[in-house]
């Protein structure tokens, strides 16, 4: 006999980034035969953001748009669209911005992070971030309006490396400088590091680390 709604073990997954989406799909797959657990994914947008491709959006390229409900279709996981505004661990509830309250027995917190634009003075007013498609689109408009000058990319991790290379490739009229605490590709295999260094040399990307 199927479990009633009152008896079901509610699993809420907050955030539909890479981790949240993967968690929802895998949890639903592992528990669907049991009949009792119900997995629900909560996210403010109904489209999946490929953060690894935001550097492409920032240079005016179109990327495929993936609909989250369609990605979940057939997996057994449900979807609720909304911004999480409060989590009550004592009551085991999550409130979203339309004032709905969702009950949970198990909570997966996968909301990810955002760029810190407060710690360094001036960043909030003068810098662009690559946190969302909207941020990337704003940056794309800014870059398209420049006839020359220097673009500084702060952060020598994978996102910074991809952004610096893509901007230099798509906007040869701009000088691109990559700033970071360590050399870009520091953790890569020597051959991959050599390939990266060669690409930066070809594109004219200047690197400042330390």
pLDDT in tens, 116-162: 888 888 888 899 999 889 999 999 999 999 999 999 999 999 999 99
**Residue 39 has which token pair?**
């997995």
d(CA 210, CA 204): 20
pLDDT score for 1: 45
Residues 92 and 24 in one domain: yes
Is residue 75 a part of any domain in this protein? yes
> What's this model's pTM, rounded to 2 decimal places?
0.79
160 lies in some domain: yes
- Is the confidence at residue 27, as pLDDT, over 90? yes
Q: Is residue 124 part of a domain?
A: no
One domain for residues 27 and 81: yes
φ/ψ of 85, rounded to 5, equals -110, -20
87, part of any domain = yes
| pLDDT for position 179 | 96
Residue 30 lies in a domain: yes
Q: Tell me if 132 is assigned to some domain.
A: no
Query: Are residues 164 and 97 both part of a single domain?
Result: no
> Is residue 200 within 8 Å of residue 173, measured between CB atoms?
no
Number of compact structural domains in the chain: 2
Q: Are residues 103 and 195 in the same domain?
A: no
**At residue 4, does pLDDT exceed 70?**
no
164 found inside a domain: yes
Task: Clarify whether residues 155 and 202 are in a common domain.
Answer: yes
Phi, psi of 70 (to 5 degrees): -70, -40
- Check pLDDT > 60 for residue 193: yes
Residue 115 falls inside a structural domain = no
For the chain, strand residue ranges (E) read 9-14, 37-43, 47-48, 66-67, 78-81, 84-88, 93-96, 101-103, 106-109, 150-154, 175-180, 206-209
Whole-number pLDDT of residue 6? 55
Question: CB 18: neighbour CB atoms within 10 A?
Answer: 15
Lowest average pLDDT, out of 37-41, 112-116, 147-151, 182-186, goes to 112-116
Q: Verify that 101 and 156 share a domain, yes or no.
A: no
Residue 52 and residue 104 in one domain: yes
Residues 15 and 94 in one domain: yes
Kindly report the backbone phi and psi dihedral angles of residue 22, in degrees, each rounded to the nearest multiple of 5, phi listed first: -65, -40
φ, ψ for residue 67, nearest 5 deg? -85, 125
Q: Which of 109, 131, 156 is the last residue of a domain?
A: 109
Host domain of residue 68: 9-109
Q: What is the CATH number for 42?
A: 3.50.50.60
């Amino acid at each position: 006999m199927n479990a009633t709604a009152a008896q079901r073990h509610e699993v809420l997954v907050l955030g539909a980034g890479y981790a949240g989406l993967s968690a929802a799909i895998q949890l639903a797959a592992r528990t669907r035969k049991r009949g009792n657990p119900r997995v629900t994914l909560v996210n403010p947008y109904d489209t999946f953001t490929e953060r690894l491709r935001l550097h492409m959006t920032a240079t005016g390229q179109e990327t495929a748009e993936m609909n989250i409900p369609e990605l979940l279709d057939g997996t057994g996981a449900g979807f609720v669209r909304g911004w999480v505004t409060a989590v009550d661990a004592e009551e085991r509830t999550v409130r979203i911005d339309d004032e709905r309250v969702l009950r949970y027995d198990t909570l997966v917190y996968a909301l990810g992070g955002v760029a810190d634009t407060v710690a360094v003075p001036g960043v909030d007013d003068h810098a662009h971030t690559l946190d969302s498609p909207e941020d990337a689109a704003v940056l794309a408009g800014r870059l398209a309006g420049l006839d020359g000058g220097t673009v500084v990319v702060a952060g020598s991790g994978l996102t910074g490396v991809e952004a610096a290379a893509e901007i230099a490739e798509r906007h040869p009229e701009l000088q691109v400088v990559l700033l970071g605490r360590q050399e870009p590709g520091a953790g890569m295999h020597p051959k991959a590091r050599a390939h990266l260094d060669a690409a930066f040399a070809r594109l004219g990307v200047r690197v400042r680390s330390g």
